[in-house]
Amino acid sequence: MPFREADGLRFFQFESLIDPNLDHAILTRQGGVSPAPWTSLNYGRTVGDDHGRVAENIERGLAATGRSPDQAFEVWQVHSASVVRADKPSSAGARPKADAIISDRPEVTLLMRFADCVPILIYDPRRRAVGAAHAGWLGTVRGVAAELVRSLQKEYGCRAEDLVAGIGPSIGPDHYPVGEDVVTEFEAALGDQAIDHLHSIDGAVHLDLWSANEAQLRSAGVRSIEVSKICTACNLQDWYSHRGEKGNTGRFGAHLAIRN
Ligand SMILES: [Zn+2]
């Protein structure tokens, strides 16, 4: 089973990323201290929840995978394709604007937040480097997954064929009808390939962010890609869903770190 439980928390792990040299988890919303509408393991500081509760949630989440808050490296996620290299944990309050983080330092835990956008976690067992990305439709159009792979190659000498990638819980194509503006941008960015990820369901166009990001990673040369195929909006007991809860919700966390 891809789900594990520890200290009242429930978290998802990619089978292909279970490795003695790696700590990783995508935390469900269970086991935290925040009340409705953030029930309960909310990692989001920008959704109206109390910052003290968020800090407690993050500490609990990190502890479940053997990590501590002073090791975390966080970014201010802005739906870009910007990648930041984390050589040490981020100090309190200093969060660069970026949607992907890379590191080769065991003292750093990559930490990102989600509520429908796609979590992408990557590990290079040869170079012992890690990367994480946040890809909504705009980040996908802008190519954040491909930029993540390129940055791992450039900064750490990774080879794409060595990378092990996971595409985590996020809004599924069943729950993701999109407007004409999104379709237009997708077609402009992906050309002929856009049609592979746009599906007509009950007269509406639905976007498949899972297949779009998998294709982007494959084009970048990644061979090992595990797709969780868990839809956040279908599983509100486990996940926050911006769409499924009409914007009134929290953010779940994802961590990735090289073990010492
Ligand atoms: Zn769904």
- pLDDT score for 6: 87
Instruction: Specify if 149 maps to a domain.
Output: yes
Average pLDDT over residues 81-96: 89
pLDDT tens-place string over residues 218-247: 999 999 999 999 999 999 999 999 999 999
- In a domain? residue 202: no
Is 194 contained in some domain?
A: no
Q: Does residue 212 lie in a domain region?
A: no
The whole-number pLDDT of residue 224 equals: 98
Residue at 144 is within a domain: yes
Position with higher pLDDT, 241 vs 90: 241
Q: Where are the beta strands (DSSP E) in 174-251?
A: 198-201, 204-207, 224-227
Q: Is the pLDDT of residue 117 over 90?
A: yes
Classify residue 48 by burial, with Cβ atoms within 10 Å: 0-12, 13-18, 19+: exposed
pTM above 0.95, yes or no: yes
Q: Residue 202 Cα, ligand 1 centroid: separation in angstroms?
A: 15
List pLDDT tens digits, range 163-182: 999 999 999 999 999 999 99
| Average pLDDT of the chain to the nearest whole number | 96
3-state secondary structure of 208: coil
pLDDT of residue 182: 97
pLDDT at 1: 59
pLDDT at 94: 80
Reported as half-sphere exposure (CB side, CA atoms, 13 A), residue 95 has a value of 16
Task: Using DSSP, state whether 53 is helix, strand or coil.
Answer: helix
Residue 246 lies in a domain: yes
- State the pLDDT at residue 118: 98
Residue 94 lies in domain: 3-172+222-258
Distance (angstroms) between ligand 1 centre and the Cα of 232 equals 6
pLDDT at 258 over 70: yes
Query: What is the pLDDT at residue 8?
Result: 87
Taking alpha carbons only, the member of 163, 111, 120 closest to residue 139 is 120
User: Does residue 220 contact residue 154 with C-beta atoms inside 8 Å?
Assistant: no
Residue 183, domain member (yes or no): no
How many structural domains are present in the chain? 1
| Cα–Cα distance, 191 to 193 (Å, whole number) | 5
pLDDT at 92 over 90: no
Provide the CATH number for the domain around residue 73.
Answer: 3.60.140.10
Judged against a pLDDT cut of 90, whether residue 7 lies above it is answered with no
Reply yes or no on whether the pLDDT at 127 is more than 70: yes
Q: What spacing in Å lies between the alpha carbon of 229 and ligand 1's midpoint?
A: 10
Q: Please give the single-letter amino acid code of residue 69.
A: P
Percent of the chain with pLDDT over 90: 95
Buried b (16+ CB within 10 A) or exposed e, 146-185: bbbbbbbbebbebebebbbbbbbbbbbbebbbbeeebeeb
Distance between Cα 147 and ligand 1 center (Å):
27
Contact 9, 220 (CB under 8 A): no
CA 246–ligand 1 middle distance (angstroms)? 14
209 CA to middle of ligand 1, Å? 12
DSSP-derived secondary structure letter, 157: -
State the average pLDDT over residues 195-204.
95
Q: Give me ligand 1 centre to Cα 233, in Å.
A: 5
Q: 243 C-alpha vs ligand 1 centroid, how far in Å? A: 10
Written as one letter, the residue type at 29 is R
What digits encode the pLDDT tens for the residues 44-75? 999 999 999 999 999 999 999 899 999 999 99
Residue 179 falls inside a structural domain:
no
Distance CA 154, CA 116 (A): 29
Q: How far apart are CA 110 and CA 98, in angstroms?
A: 12
What 3-state class would DSSP assign to 90? coil
Tens digits of per-residue pLDDT, 25-34? 999 999 999 9
* Dist CA 118 CA 113 (whole Å): 10
| Ligand 1: centre distance to CA 179 (Å) | 18
What are φ and ψ of residue 136, in 5° steps?
-85, -165
